[in-house]
Amino acid sequence: MFPVQPQSKMDHLKGNYTRVNEFLFVALSPTWQSQATLFVFFLLVYAATLVGNSLIMLTVTSDPRLRTPMYFLLGNLSFLDLCYSHVTTPKMLVDFLSEKKSISFDACMAQLFFLHLLAAAEMFLLTVMAYDREDSMSLSDNRTSLLTSHSKM
């Protein structure tokens, strides 16, 4: 006479779910020639990023005159940029040359996690760099005002 009520609000969904196992990149590029062109372009950009950031880190660590906080932070920013480019670019380069362009759900979530982690670390580092610059500018302003007030006496 009375309809049976489900035990919880989610009971009616227990047998009706689909798990996504992978994502397909269908419209990455339409032709083989455009895929090869994009592969070469992104490979050159990736190589330039690796070389440039590696040279910055090498220069900052090897030159004793660059042992200041700003250069330390710049070396760390280069390291973060190097890590940031390692997260997605190699998979994208492989997919340009492969027949099946896909990424598993777990690999996609791992990429997403590391992208967010490195983006947050980069934002924090840029904030510290901005504070360091502001602090050094206010320190030089204080020195200038001290020198000016002493010269007037």
Rg over alpha carbons for the chain, rounded to the nearest Å, is: 26
- Burial label for 60, CB within 10 Å (0-12, 13-18, 19+), is buried
Please, which pLDDT band fits residue 153 given cuts at 50, 70 and 90?
low
Does residue 84 surpass a pLDDT of 60?
Answer: yes
Residue from 92, 4, 3 nearest 40 by CA: 92
Share of the chain above pLDDT 70, in %: 77
pTM score, two decimals? 0.71
Which tens digit of pLDDT belongs to each residue from 30-76?
788 888 899 999 999 999 999 999 999 999 999 999 988 889 999 99
